[in-house]
Amino acid sequence: MYTKSTYRADQMVLWTRYETLLFIFISLLWASAYYFLDLGWLKIPWTPLALIGTAVAFVIGFQNNAAYGRIWEARKIWGGIINTSRSFGVFVQDMITNEHALQKMSEEELHAEMKTLTYRHIAWMTALRHAMRVLKPWETTSSHRTNSEWGHKPPERESTLEDDLKPYLSDSDIEYISNKDNKQTAILYLQSHHLRALKEKGIIWEFSFLELESEVKDLFNLQGKSERIKNFPYPRQFATLNHFFMWIFVLLLPLAMMPQFSAIGNDIKETYPIISNYFIWFSIPFYVAVAWVFHTMERIGRTGENPFEGTANDVPISTIARGIEIDLRQNLGEPKDEIPDQFLPKFHTQF
């Protein structure tokens, strides 16, 4: 039985196995050339390669910091959605009353209004998470074979937006948003129009209306921040050139490393004649280790560039949205058997 740490180590090995095999092949090719073809003259000094490696390390570090910043900002945005959603839910329940009503409603009618507003908010979260999962041309991490072979797919790839919205919106609401490109924005417009209508009936007091409209404004702000991260990629000049620089370093590395091991073998020939003859082959594991570290760090940065793409390392917006839905519907007094379950993790991964 795997522990969490060994499971993650195994997943990392599997995640990078194709590149690791490529590095083993490259090192075997160069070691064989030095050993069998006597290519000791084919080498480059360490100084220029060290300069390239230093530059690559700086750029990879910059990329990883920027990618982590995008992930962390996305997590804070959806943390804000959690808090604002809970505030909106409690305000709806406490501010829709007959206290200032021009024509009083029954308790059932008041609860129906609360339910409509709450369900429409759930529909907004559903539309937003679907919009965040739409693949952009620069989002290619999920199509990598080591990601696709495990079947890591967010719930939005297994259902349509229309089907997911039907339980929460009325027919008139669905008709209103059907021809809108940005459906989450259209849903917030419906929320605001509904709140205004309730205010005009006196069901919502004027100051309560302003408070609820402030919550809608906050949702617009959080939606815009989330869309900004989704629609503005990590600058390609950094991402693309960094990838090329890393491969230049990795492909040039054997020209400096293999001669060094060959020279060490020659230096110890008199003391260790047997080991010295095969010392060049010790360069293989060292080259693979160095190349693997540089490549994996660069790939980690690429993987974290798009926090809503729907891969194993992204912000779990589907789980967050479903958790808010469960909270809101439970506080509406709905029985648990009518509330959908939380999305189950896949391979210890939440989406």
351 falls within a domain: no
273: in domain? yes
169-180 mean pLDDT: 94
pLDDT digits (tens, 9 = 90+) for 291-324: 999 998 888 888 888 999 888 788 999 999 999 9
CA atoms of 314 and 307, how far apart (whole Å): 5
Assess if residue 8 is contained within a domain.
no
Q: Assess if residue 283 is contained within a domain.
A: yes
Residue 10, pLDDT score: 67
Round to whole Å and give the CA distance between 268 and 278: 11
Domain that holds residue 37: 30-338
Residue 261 lies in a domain: yes
**For residue 1, is pLDDT > 70?**
no
What was the pLDDT predicted at 269?
A: 79
Torsion of CA 34, 38, 40, 41, to 10 degrees: -130
User: Contact, 288 vs 27, CB < 8 A?
Assistant: yes
65-69, 191-195, 312-316: least confidently modelled range: 312-316
Question: Within a domain: residue 208?
Answer: yes
Assess whether pLDDT exceeds 70 at residue 6.
no
Q: What pLDDT, on the 0 to 100 scale, is given for residue 147?
A: 66
For residue 40, pLDDT over 80 is answered with no
pLDDT in tens, 321-343: 999 999 999 999 999 999 999 98
Report the number of distinct structural domains present in the chain: 1
Q: Are 146 and 17 in contact (CB under 8 A)?
A: yes
pLDDT of residue 126: 96
- Which value, to the nearest 10 degrees, does the dihedral of the CA atoms of residues 81, 86, 90, 92 take? 30
Is residue 107 situated within a structural domain? yes
Average pLDDT, stretch 221-226? 96
The tokens describing 184, both together, are: 């989450």
Q: How far apart are CA 329 and CA 245, in angstroms?
A: 52
The closest alpha carbon to 346, from 9, 5, 78, 11, belongs to: 11
Tokens of residue 316, six digits:
């779990």
Question: What tokens appear for 83 in the block?
Answer: 């808090």
Which pLDDT belongs to residue 7?
A: 44
Say what the pLDDT of residue 146 is: 63
pLDDT in tens, 101-141: 889 999 999 999 999 999 999 999 999 999 999 988 888 77
Report residue 9's pLDDT band, with 50, 70 and 90 as the boundaries.
low
Residue 161 contacts residue 126 (beta carbons within 8 Å): yes
Strand, coil or helix: what is 104? coil
- Quote the tokens at residue 191: 């929320």
Mean pLDDT, the chain, whole residue set: 88
- Residue 104 in domain: yes
pLDDT tens digits along 251-280: 999 988 888 888 888 788 778 777 878 888
- The reported pLDDT for the residue numbered 73 is 95
pLDDT confidence bin for 4, thresholds 50/70/90: very low
pTM equals 0.87
